[in-house]
Structure 1
Amino acid sequence: MDSPNNSTDTVEQPVSAASAKPSDFTKRHDPPREPAPVKLYEKRRAVHNKRIDGPFRRFKWFVMLVTLGIYYITPWIRWDRGPYAPDQAVLVDLANRRFYMFGIEIWPQEFYFVAGLLIMAGIGLFLVTSAVGRAWCGYACPQTVWTDLFQHIDRFVDGDRNARMRLDAAPWTWGKVLRRGFKWTIYLAIAFWTGGAWIMYFADAPTLTHDFWTGQAAPVAYATVAILTATTFVLGGFMREQVCIYMCPWPRIQTAMLDEKSLIVTYKDWRGEPRGSVKKAAKNPGEFGDCIDCTQCVQVCPTGIDIREGPQIGCITCALCIDACDKVMKDIGRPRGLIDYATLEDCKREAAGETPRPAWKTLLHPRTVIYFGIWAAIGLGMLFLLGTRSHTSISAAPDRNPPYMLMSDGALRNSYTVKLRNMESRPRKMEVVIDGLPGAKMWTGTMDYADAKRKLVIDVPPDETKALRVYVISPPDTKAQDFHFGVTSLDPQKETDQAEARFTAPGDSE
């Protein structure tokens, strides 16, 4: 009889996690722990995507040309705002704390407009993702646009996919060095102009260009161009799909915004599997699906993924694989759409033999409608505020020490700092009045007391806030009370504003 220590029927005892070996089978570790992998990072495999033509590829051309055109050309567009304001259409004037966008001028206290635009951009991104997946990533993301541009440079210099793969595998010869040097010089020129275009948004473009090339620009301009040139050169020229897969947080965030009703690029496996060549399908009718395993969908992918493996983080929804697959299906006489934009719900319907819904109906699911409603409400609210905002404002702050002064004739005097803001690009006359406080008069630090009155006309320069030292004097029996400073622009607009103030008198407890 076997001893208890040698019995095969004994119950396994838990083993301490600190002393357990990978081969130990314990109650705590079920199944046995696997040893940690030796390699924690897979070496990058260069992606050489193939040239393709089709509706999605042409749409990517269109988006790339529009976005790059807007980025490079916008700083050079002129906009006449009169003789007292800059004539650059889009300008972030940090020195004067202004933001100009064509006919709109944003002051620092109106930063809520900029915040609103950023919120709209974020919700718009949610809306696009909820409706059509990562379409932003596939078409309009700056990383995608510049990567696409650099990939076209690759084809121009090195040839299409097979030629680039042969050149990569070839030893370094003088011919390869010269070809690489020529291509990287083009990279560097594009990257440099990208950084140079960015700084044009923060100063008058023609003036800054002249100062930059003559060495008179500010050091921050040269530093900014150098940093943006380096990042564009490296990220667009060499890291490419690694930015989308490893560095960008959006692929991980987007999963919370996708559901079975979202349009995504999908491989219809029930139609394509099992895969087989055209010859095999001809010899064995009904045994193979439509996919002939040509790998064209993989070869055109800018991130090098295989869409047939299902949704994955590397898919940027550029739909080039749809163009490639549709072309193959047309060539072999099979219906298009083996790879297509489709929702998971419609995929189930189609697999069951039902008719999928029209594309416009897939966009009307509740999440998309809610995102669009919020986005539109913020936009309409901002348009309303822009249309109703006043370009004239006034503020008043009382002196605290002393709160009041008793004059020789018994009258009371309070002092205030009044600020008049002219948000027009032209000088304006503004009338300042005392609203309330019976019997009171006022004068400024540049006037004589004898000229005190209830209304003053002040000249305010364009695009400025003019600070005034205002003295308000009231009869001896005046009690502490609240009143207002009012301002009216003396021009056809007749814009008005008020600032609340308090007149302090002896015995005032506030």
Structure 2
Amino acid sequence: MPDGSLATPAKVKLYEDHKTIHPKAVSGRYRRLKTIAIWVLLAIFFIAPWIRWERGPDAPAQAVLLDLTAPRFFVFWVEIWPQEIYYLTGILIIASLGLFLATSLAGRVWCGFACPQTVWTDLFVQIERFFEGDRAERIRMDKAPWTTRKVLRKAGKHAGWLALSAVTGFGFVAYFTDAPRLAVDLLTFDATYEAAGFFLLFAGMTYVMAGWTREQMCYYMCPWPRIQTAMLDEHSLVVTYDTMRGDRRGPKRKSQSWDERRGQGFGDCIDCGQCVQVCPVGVDIRTGEQADCINCGLCADACDGIMVSQNLPTGLIRFDSLAAQESRALGKPYLWRFLRPRTIVYSLLMLVIAGAMGWTYALRPRLDISVQRDRAPLFVTLQDGAIRNAYTFKVANKTRQNRAYALVAGGVPGAEVKVVGENEAETGEHTSHISASPDSVATYRVYVTAPRASVTAASTPLTFQLTDTANGDKDAYKSVFLGPAN
């Protein structure tokens, strides 16, 4: 510079400022489908914890209960124990495969119609629209200075958001404890610290995620938009824009006829921007397929409305596949293919896993035992020379009745079983008796004593066998009996 001073470098932002998206209200078949899906899913979510299901005395009467204190998972007639966590693993695998199948068929249709983030964001937008008006009015109000009317409308919106968040927080916690009792405890401020804490956590996260972050959850936090591209192929139905019909885009004058417009090289798209204005994530589908598009179809509803107003065929924006577009460009007929290698693989895997889970659950034993041998000391030598090992014995009674069992140990000749604290009367040589309360795990200290002459190795296989004295159900557990090396 002439005076020799250094120019101040311009500041360059590393990140683009967030632009608030105000989706416009729209009507149409996809909007109706979306509304139906939302209310059905909300009904299931909020009603399920209130359904009663009698399981007998001293058993929870809530149909769907994830009881972490018992701990048990109850889903109507199904009861899952902690050691059966593999059922939860199977459910998660089936859910993942179902998501893969849905994506391969119709893109991010899960994101557009059933994802909790989408469902609650849509509800929050409707509350916002009720208090602040539709898109244009909300934009004007955001730019306008603060007035009493603006404060009241904003306050009403946030009050509605907080009310819905509180109901949602209760709905989440109700799956982990008795719903009616939780409602009373929260209303009377008598809830436990854990229940109150999780209620506030879920309510707060709902308020933040559905009210403030909205589409940013999909943009920056959810990995699925990037993963789902690997599940798509040329036959997947996704929201598309017909470039051959729509381009070249441009506004249309009222005095301009369609023949004149087409003579000038313009297509059916009048560049009104309605497809972008109704999009909940702010995507312009006319620029091509995008990972951020959630396949909700609202842009198709908006575009169809414009096409009807212009006396043109609908479907400029629609659910379509790349293979169908290519076939139409070549003038060939196209038949959508549901059965494809990936859809067959996903479906078969789901059927196999679901069948295996159902089979194992139907045949699962009504009792289960586990044994842990004491590690210190490894064994004890008694005054008469006999060798004794100590074990912690657990029996899971998966029925709703008191059960009595006969316990024997085999594998070591002459071994005798003694259960600490239980009746030592024997029904046979080397047999002991234990019992278990309904739907509980009974824990016992068990001593196994064998003559010194029977212990011929430092480690001898030992099998505990438990038999239900009422119905004959049996279970066995393999352990070892330790003694001095000869």
Q: Which residue of 2 aligns with 1:405?
A: 381
Q: Which amino acid aligns with 2:53?
A: W
Once the two structures are TM-superposed, the CA of residue 476 in structure 1 deviates from its matched residue by 5.8
CA contact (8 A) 2:397 2:440 kept: yes
Identity of aligned residues (%): 45
Q: Which residue of 1 aligns with 2:420?
A: 445
2:325 to 347, 362, 367: 347
Matched position secondary structure for 1:318: coil
Q: Which residue of 2 aligns with 1:303?
A: 281
Q: Which residue of 1 aligns with 2:196?
A: 222
2:432 to 441, 447, 456: 456
Supply the distance in 2 between the matched residues of 1:305 and 1:78 (Cα, whole angstroms). 44
Once the two structures are TM-superposed, the CA of residue 134 in structure 1 deviates from its matched residue by 0.9
Supply the distance in 2 between the matched residues of 1:439 and 1:314 (Cα, whole angstroms). 72
CA contact (8 A) 2:366 2:473 kept: yes
After superposition, the Cα gap between the structure-2 partners of 1:450 and 1:377, relative to the gap in structure 1 and judged at 3 Å, is closer
Q: Which amino acid aligns with 2:399?
A: E
After superposition, the Cα gap between the structure-2 partners of 1:441 and 1:315, relative to the gap in structure 1 and judged at 3 Å, is same
Once the two structures are TM-superposed, the CA of residue 169 in structure 1 deviates from its matched residue by 3.1
Once the two structures are TM-superposed, the CA of residue 450 in structure 1 deviates from its matched residue by 6.9
Question: Which sections of structure 2, spanning at least 5 residues, go unmatched?
Answer: 1-8
Once the two structures are TM-superposed, the CA of residue 412 in structure 1 deviates from its matched residue by 5.0
Supply the distance in 1 between the matched residues of 2:279 and 2:140 (Cα, whole angstroms). 19
- Give the TM-score normalised by the residue count of structure 2: 0.88
CA contact (8 A) 2:422 2:434 kept: no
Matched position secondary structure for 1:120: helix
1:86 to 60, 63, 75: 60
Matched position secondary structure for 1:416: strand
Q: Which residue of 1 aligns with 2:343?
A: 368
Paired residues in the alignment total: 469
What is the 5 A alignment of 1:203-222? 203-222=177-196
2:258 to 281, 284, 290: 281
After superposition, the Cα gap between the structure-2 partners of 1:398 and 1:280, relative to the gap in structure 1 and judged at 3 Å, is same
Q: Does 1:140 align with 2:82?
A: no
CA contact (8 A) 1:394 1:486 kept: no
Supply the distance in 2 between the matched residues of 1:76 and 1:212 (Cα, whole angstroms). 16
Q: Which residue of 1 aligns with 2:217?
A: 243
Once the two structures are TM-superposed, the CA of residue 429 in structure 1 deviates from its matched residue by 1.9
After superposition, the Cα gap between the structure-2 partners of 1:449 and 1:214, relative to the gap in structure 1 and judged at 3 Å, is closer
Q: Does 1:471 align with 2:450?
A: no
Supply the distance in 2 between the matched residues of 1:411 and 1:38 (Cα, whole angstroms). 84
Deviations 1:414-441 (A, max 9, x none): 4433222112233222222334545444
1:433 to 405, 408, 411: 408
Once the two structures are TM-superposed, the CA of residue 316 in structure 1 deviates from its matched residue by 0.9
Q: Does 1:318 align with 2:296?
A: yes
What is the 5 A alignment of 1:411-422? 412-422=387-397
Q: Does 1:171 align with 2:145?
A: yes
1:334 to 312, 320, 324: 312
Supply the distance in 1 between the matched residues of 2:289 and 2:283 (Cα, whole angstroms). 10
Supply the distance in 2 between the matched residues of 1:472 and 1:333 (Cα, whole angstroms). 90
Q: Which residue of 2 aligns with 1:20?
A: none
Matched position secondary structure for 2:335: coil
Q: Which amino acid aligns with 2:404?
A: K
Q: Which residue of 1 aligns with 2:158?
A: 184
Q: Which amino acid aligns with 1:88?
A: Q
Once the two structures are TM-superposed, the CA of residue 491 in structure 1 deviates from its matched residue by 4.1
Once the two structures are TM-superposed, the CA of residue 354 in structure 1 deviates from its matched residue by 2.0
What's the Cα RMSD here? 2.6
Q: Which residue of 1 aligns with 2:467?
A: 488
After superposition, the Cα gap between the structure-2 partners of 1:327 and 1:491, relative to the gap in structure 1 and judged at 3 Å, is farther
Q: Which amino acid aligns with 2:13?
A: K
Matched position secondary structure for 1:346: helix
- Give the TM-score normalised by the residue count of structure 1: 0.84
Q: Does 1:424 align with 2:424?
A: no
1:53 to 18, 24, 27: 27
Deviations 1:59-79 (A, max 9, x none): 111111122122222222221
Q: Which amino acid aligns with 1:120?
A: I
Deviations 1:48-96 (A, max 9, x none): 2222222211111111112212222222222111113211122222222
Deviations 1:102-152 (A, max 9, x none): 222222211111122222222222222222111111111111111111111
CA contact (8 A) 1:407 1:413 kept: no
